[in-house]
């Protein structure tokens, strides 16, 4: 680009979900100059579609032992609760904590397995049985014959989280269009600069010490453009259920069945018109659910609720589904990687948090990798600002 103005930042972050935005807040607070570039509304990939469960690893430990995956997650609820209180580098005090815990409930045939697991010392106070006289509305019926456990895994509102993270780096975030006003200048498998055409038509060359690819499923194309063959990405699809009905009771839960995955994971959200939504993931949203059409998935959801929770009246409910992919580093087994992932290739850092919950862990790794501030200050670009994306129940 001839006659272009050159701007230098410490770290250019490409992405606009929880990974990019949480990391941007942490790097900025450390004194780095940062630039966040997104090609879509913020959170529009996976982050706004997340159920918002801040796993502490218990779901992955139900098999009986605390796995590598559950250990990586163990510190995350505390980190998020601090952020919600406004403690630490990331201020989420404007975002809602939807619930400070989840319920774990069981199908009648697995009660003994669950009771022995939750009675075990391994849980170190992360869970406890709920006495019958304290059952919440959704299970307060003689028709429920299983046991209820409280697990100390909070549920956050992903919309509020992305909004507040975006607010913290609003001045440093811009929307780009790779076909219209931005291009990667690649040299020897590294990124030399992002070449930008500002709204006024002026060319800008944006250089940086590090370029972070934190674009979820968009990382695959970015890696191709830079010519990086490893790490590779995997996509794991989901087909979530959305049940909308006025006055549904709060329902934040993991159901334990006989298989390795919970048949159902539920969270509760209020949409922009004040209507209650149950958002359902778990095994029903995985492989078999992905293979189903929307109508078949809704039918399967109705059957599941009629079987597991026949006391719940969903006769007035509107049912929808949401399809999307979880984007992660390739594991080779098709399973979920055990922790937040970050790998350096020259001046390029490739990152996938693998869970919303692990965003703080990812940002810690990236702060270490980018090694403190060299340039500092702020960068100014004449480019449009991105909007906030919409949650699946707003699209339904």
Q: How buried is 332 (Cβ within 10 angstroms: 0-12 exposed, 13-18 middle, 19+ buried)?
A: exposed
Which residue, 339 or 353, has its beta carbon nearer to ligand FAD? 353
SS3 45: coil
**Options 9-17, 166-174, 187-195, 330-338: segment touching ligand FAD (CB under 6 A):** 9-17
Nearest distance, CB of residue 357 and ligand FAD, angstroms = 3
Nearer to ligand FAD among residue 144 and residue 284 (C-beta): 284
Q: Are 213 and 190 in contact (CB under 8 A)?
A: no
Give one word for 374, left, alpha or beta, with left for phi > 0 and alpha for psi -120 to 50: alpha
Which window, 26-34, 188-196, 209-217, 299-307, contacts ligand FAD (CB under 6 A)?
209-217
What distance in Å separates the CA atoms of residue 150 and residue 129, rounded to the nearest whole number?
6
Q: Is 15 in the site for ligand FAD (CB under 6 A)?
A: yes
Q: Give the pair of three-digit tokens for residue 338.
A: 């055990």
* Residue ranges in 259-298 that form contacts with ligand FAD under rule CB under 6 A: 281
Cα separation of 22 and 91, whole Å? 10
Written as six digits, the tokens of 160 are: 């509020």
Radius of gyration in angstroms for the set of CA atoms belonging to the chain, rounded to a whole number: 22
- Burial class (CB within 10 angstroms; exposed 0-12, middle 13-18, buried 19+) of 241: buried
Touching ligand FAD, residues 21-80 (CB under 6 A): 37-40, 42-47, 49-53, 55
52 versus 146: smaller Cβ distance to ligand FAD: 52
Shortest reach from residue 18's CB to ligand FAD, in Å: 5
Q: What share of the chain is helix, strand, coil (3-state, %, to 5)?
A: 30, 30, 40
**Smallest distance from the beta carbon of 63 to ligand FAD, in angstroms?**
19
Per CB under 6 A, 181 contacts ligand FAD:
no
The pattern of x and - marking residues 341 through 370 that bind ligand FAD according to CB under 6 A reads -----------xxxxxx-------------
The answer to whether the beta carbons of residues 328 and 233 sit under 8 Å apart is: yes
Distance CA 318, CA 347 (A): 49
Query: Does 326 contact ligand FAD by CB under 6 A?
Result: yes
- Is residue 223 a contact residue for ligand FAD (CB under 6 A)? no
Q: Which residue, judged by CB position, is nearest to ligand FAD in the bound state?
A: 218
Residue numbers at the binding site for ligand FAD (CB under 6 A):
14-20, 37-40, 42-47, 49-53, 55, 214-216, 218, 221-222, 238, 240, 281, 324, 326, 352-357
């Amino acid at each position: 680009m001839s006659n272009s103005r050159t701007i230098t930042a410490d770290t250019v972050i490409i992405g606009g979900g929880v990974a990019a935005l949480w990391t941007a807040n942490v790097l900025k607070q450390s004194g780095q100059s940062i630039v966040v570039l997104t090609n879509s509304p913020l959170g529009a990939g996976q982050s706004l579609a997340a159920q918002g469960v801040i796993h502490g690893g218990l779901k992955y430990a139900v098999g009986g032992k605390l796995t590598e995956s559950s250990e990586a997650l163990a510190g995350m609820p505390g980190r998020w609760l601090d952020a919600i209180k406004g403690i630490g580098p990331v201020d989420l005090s404007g975002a809602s904590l939807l619930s400070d815990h989840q319920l774990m409930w069981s199908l009648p045939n697995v009660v003994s397995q669950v009771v022995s697991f939750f009675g075990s010392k391994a849980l170190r106070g992360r869970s406890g049985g709920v006495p019958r006289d304290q059952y919440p509305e959704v299970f307060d019926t003689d028709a429920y014959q299983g046991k209820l456990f409280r697990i100390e895994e909070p549920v956050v509102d992903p919309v509020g989280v992305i909004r507040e993270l975006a607010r913290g780096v609003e001045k440093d975030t811009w929307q780009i269009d790779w076909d219209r006003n931005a291009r990667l200048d690649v040299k020897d498998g590294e990124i030399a600069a992002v070449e930008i055409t500002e709204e006024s038509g002026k060319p800008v060359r944006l250089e940086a010490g590090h370029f972070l690819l934190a674009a979820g499923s968009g990382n695959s194309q970015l890696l191709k453009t830079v010519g990086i063959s490893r790490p590779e990405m995997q996509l794991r699809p989901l087909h979530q259920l959305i049940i909308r009905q006025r006055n549904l009771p709060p329902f934040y839960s993991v159901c334990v069945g006989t298989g390795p995955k919970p048949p159902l994971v539920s969270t509760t959200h209020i949409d922009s018109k004040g209507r209650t939504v149950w958002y359902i993931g778990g095994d029903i949203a995985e492989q078999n659910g992905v293979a189903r059409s929307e109508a078949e998935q809704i039918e399967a959801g109705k059957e599941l609720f009629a079987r597991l929770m026949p006391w719940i009246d969903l006769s007035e409910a509107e049912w929808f589904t949401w399809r999307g992919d979880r984007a992660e580093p390739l594991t080779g087994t098709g399973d979920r990687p055990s922790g937040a992932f970050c790998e350096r290739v020259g001046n390029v850092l490739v990152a996938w948090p693998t869970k919303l919950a692990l965003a703080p862990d990812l940002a810690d790794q990236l702060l270490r990798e980018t090694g403190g501030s060299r340039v500092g200050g702020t960068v100014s670009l004449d480019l449009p600002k991105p909007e906030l994306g919409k949650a699946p129940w707003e699209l339904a």
